[in-house]
Amino acid sequence: MMESHRKSEGEMQEAVARWKRAGLAVRVSDGLNALCGDEVSMALAIDGRGAVVAACWSGFACSLCALSCDCAVGAALEGGLHEAAELTVENVARRANLGEVSRSRRGCVELPLNVMKGMLE
Amino acid sequence: MAEYGAMENGGRNCGSVKVLAAVLGAGSSTRMGRSKLTAPFAGTTLIERAVGAALSSCADAVVVISGAYQGEMSSTLAKSHPGAVVLENPRWRSGQSSSVRLAAEYAQQSGFDALLLFAGDQPFVERWHLDRLIQAARSIASSAEARSAPTAVLSSRGRRRGNPCLFFSSCFALLQGLAGDEGARSLFGPEHGLNQAEVAFGNDELFLDADTPEEFVELEKRYERRRSPAPESDFPLLEERGSACPGFSFLDSAASSCAAKGPLDAVRDFETKRRANIHRGIYPLSEEATEAYEEARAKVGRFFGGDARNVVFTHGATEALNMAALGWGGNALREGDVVLLDTAAHHSAIVPWQMLSERIGLKLEFIGLDASGALDMERYRRLLECDPRAVVLTHVSNVTGLACDAKGAVALAHAAGACAVLDCAQSAGHMPVDLADIDADFAAVSAHKMHGPFGVGMLWGKEERFERMLPLLGGGGMIARVTEDGYVLSPPPRRFEAGTPNVSGAIGFAASCDYLAEVGLESIERHGRALSDRFVRGASEIRGISLLGTDAQGKRNSLVSFNVEGMHPHDVAEALAESGICVRAGTHCAMPAHAALGARASVRASFAAHTSCVEVDMLLDALRRLDAPSASARGLRG
């Protein structure tokens, strides 16, 4: 079972404030899927060496979107922001043992990946 | 598969539990005075209806137990279901138990694992009721309780329990011990120690039957009221999908309706016999094509209360609404002009005005929704005092299914001096829409939501409004003259149809108007409201279902949006899809509407002329059985 990095909006705001007080660099990005209403925010805390030391996400997400968020955040914690930003739908499907993601649900998986890419900007 | 003489049921085996469905029809109908099962009933007979339901279920085989009216029953079924196995019960006079004993003996001798009993005189028992019982039996067959003691699966509704009932083979000895006029229900008392599983249904009519002529007439009337105005056989896709997937239920007509045979045939007929470009060639084939296209325009115009001069063929309602905004508004409006927009609008009735406003600086005001989720008429009246130049209204919301008083709202707009644009994408084809009577300046319609083809729709317009509208596309067919110095436009409506239009689409569109007129728009409207009411009533009994918009009855037209507590709409839709139920999930291209209704997204079930009460009941049943945690887990597993 994949680890969940989901927090409520309030919890995420508290986490971000805590990271900033600790002197960590914080990046936040969000995204919306207008078709399904999914809306996701992600936050990363990055230390002086550029490693992602804490991360979380919050928002309105279907189960596939939530899974993809957890994959993306998990990847950032394991391998850093750049590695996470390169994740593809297929990567997520493999990591989460999803099998093939149907065309109509690709957007659900892509949204968090685009949010993670948005961290680089 | 066991060797047996019963009619094999098309191989739709539901797993390892082999089920014989027995339709009980041996009784003498004493109080009827004649055979109630073979008397005409809503275009068929009760026995044919019951046997049809059993044969289309996933029972492995079906028998009919006859008795008092053996000859009539056999000859009736020989015509409708040739090959139907009718077992004559020679002891029918001794009471109902003799039929149950016969069915149980037969099931035992033929090696069935379970016997599904139901009475032939319960017309509201559908295939899916039988399938639910069989599925429930399959799921408990290997349980310790089912193995240790005689076990049955009963239908229930509230506190009432009854037929159809399924008995595992462990009950066959008990069933064969019944006597007199007691039916199988007498086994449910505690003295028999029967393990009893229940399948709860939400259908109040499930157990209805008739014993007297008066009851028979009432039953028939009630049954007729439930029937859909258009048969599924009018829609090839429903026939095709329905036979491949018996639980298939298409409840997304608001997105795109199923194409009806008439429009499909009209398109094919044109493409194979009269296809040529229009308004261009002078050879007979081209003239025929032109004639067909312009006749389609006239027909569509008449369908909506006007004539050919009011009809511009477009790609759909979205293009029509863009033309009204950018073509008319772009020419007629100036910086600072006020335009009122409907909060319940589809994005196509909002975004073009926002785009125009970015260009010329309009003042856009959203009217808002009242407490029921409908257009806030009070606020609308107040906003009209701001002297709007245009008002953009939604006839029926694609989120709530609530309709506005279009004629009244348009009249108010005109009194304020505003141009009224009406989005009829969800009303056209679902109710009578007389645009001349409503007096809209512009209106938008999509053929694919009216059982017609994709890629065609209509911008309805008053001639004087067309005169002040600029075409969005320039090219062939819409000009009277082109020189190197400039151009002269053709008169409307052709002015707005640059290039080669979707000719066969327009012809299919006209055919869909013919089809809907034949089915009857008033009847479609009544049916759509009845289905929505049925869903609203049923949903009120399911914990965790919240509707978008009012709970009141009689307000919705052919669609309902709702949410399930603890489940994302996508996950709900995916779970329903596993049962063959097709619904929409998301924002339905109406984000401001959702925001105003306090939701991010929703699940939407939408109905059409062919949608039956049974499909609404199936949807409610599926929602009742939703299990939030496991549905989310399904999402995790894909």
- The pTM assigned to this predicted structure is 0.86
User: Which residue among B568, B591, B631 places its CB closest to the CB of A61?
Assistant: B568
pLDDT of residue B143: 78
User: CA angle, corner B121, sides to B118 and B123, nearest 5?
Assistant: 90
pLDDT of residue B15: 58
pLDDT of residue B227: 81
Contact residues on chain A for B600, CB-CB shorter than 8 A: 37, 39, 60
| Sequence-separated (6 or more) residues with CB below 8 Å from residue B314 | B320, B323, B444, B456, B457, B458, B459, B496
Both tokens assigned to B191: 């003295």
* CA–CA gap between residue B101 and residue B92 (Å, rounded): 11
**Regarding predicted confidence, which is higher, A97 or B244?**
A97
Q: What is residue B279's DSSP assignment?
A: S
Q: Please name every residue paired with B200 in a beta bridge, in sequence order, or none if there are none.
A: B156
* CA–CA gap between residue B88 and residue B26 (Å, rounded): 8
Interface residue of A64, A90, A94, A106 to substitute, partner B, most B CBs within 10 Å: A64
A57 in Cβ contact with A8 (< 8 Å) = no
pLDDT of residue B376: 97
Contact residues on chain A for B601, CB-CB shorter than 8 A: 36-38, 60
Both tokens assigned to B83: 């090959």
CA distances to B283, B307, B349, B380, B506 from B497, rounded to whole Å, are 22, 17, 20, 34, 12
12-71 in chain A: CB under 8 A from chain B: 34-39, 60-67
Cβ–Cβ below 8 Å for A34 and B638:
no
A97 in Cβ contact with B637 (< 8 Å) = yes
Please name the residue of chain A whose CA is at the shortest distance from the CA of residue B566: A62
B534 in Cβ contact with A26 (< 8 Å) = no
Cβ–Cβ below 8 Å for B600 and A37:
yes
pLDDT of residue B140: 87
Please name the residue of chain A whose CA is at the shortest distance from the CA of residue B595: A37
Cβ–Cβ below 8 Å for A108 and B638:
no
B293 in Cβ contact with B278 (< 8 Å) = yes
Can you spell out the DSSP letters for B94-115? G-HHHHHHHHHHHHHHTT-SEE
Residue B344: how many other CB atoms lie within 10 Å: 31
pLDDT of residue B12: 45
Is B577 buried (19+), middle (13-18) or exposed (0-12) by CB count in 10 A?
A: middle
pLDDT of residue B193: 81
Q: Please name every residue paired with B564 in a beta bridge, in sequence order, or none if there are none.
A: B545
According to DSSP, the β-strands at B390-394 and B363-366 are unpaired
- The catalytic residue among B419, B424, B589, B613 is B589
SS (H, E, C) chain A: CCCCCECCHHHHHHHHHHHHHCCCEEEEEEEECCCCCCEEEEEEEECCCCCEEEEEEEEECCHHHHHHHHHHHHHHHHHCHHHHHCCCHHHHHHHCCCCCCCHHHHHHHHHHHHHHHHCCC
User: Which residue among A35, A39, A63 places its CB closest to the CB of B571?
Assistant: A63
* CA–CA gap between residue B100 and residue B172 (Å, rounded): 10
* CA–CA gap between residue A101 and residue A93 (Å, rounded): 7
Residue B129: how many other CB atoms lie within 10 Å: 25
Catalytic annotation present for B589: yes
CA dihedral (B393, B529, B606, B315) positive or negative? negative
Residue B489: how many other CB atoms lie within 10 Å: 15
Both tokens assigned to B183: 């039916």
pLDDT of residue B9: 54
Q: Name the stretches of chain B with pLDDT < 50.
A: 1-7, 10-14, 631-638
pLDDT of residue B602: 98
Q: Is the pLDDT of residue A121 over 70?
A: yes
pLDDT of residue B2: 27
pLDDT of residue B187: 83
Q: What are phi and psi of B269, to 5 degrees?
A: -60, -45
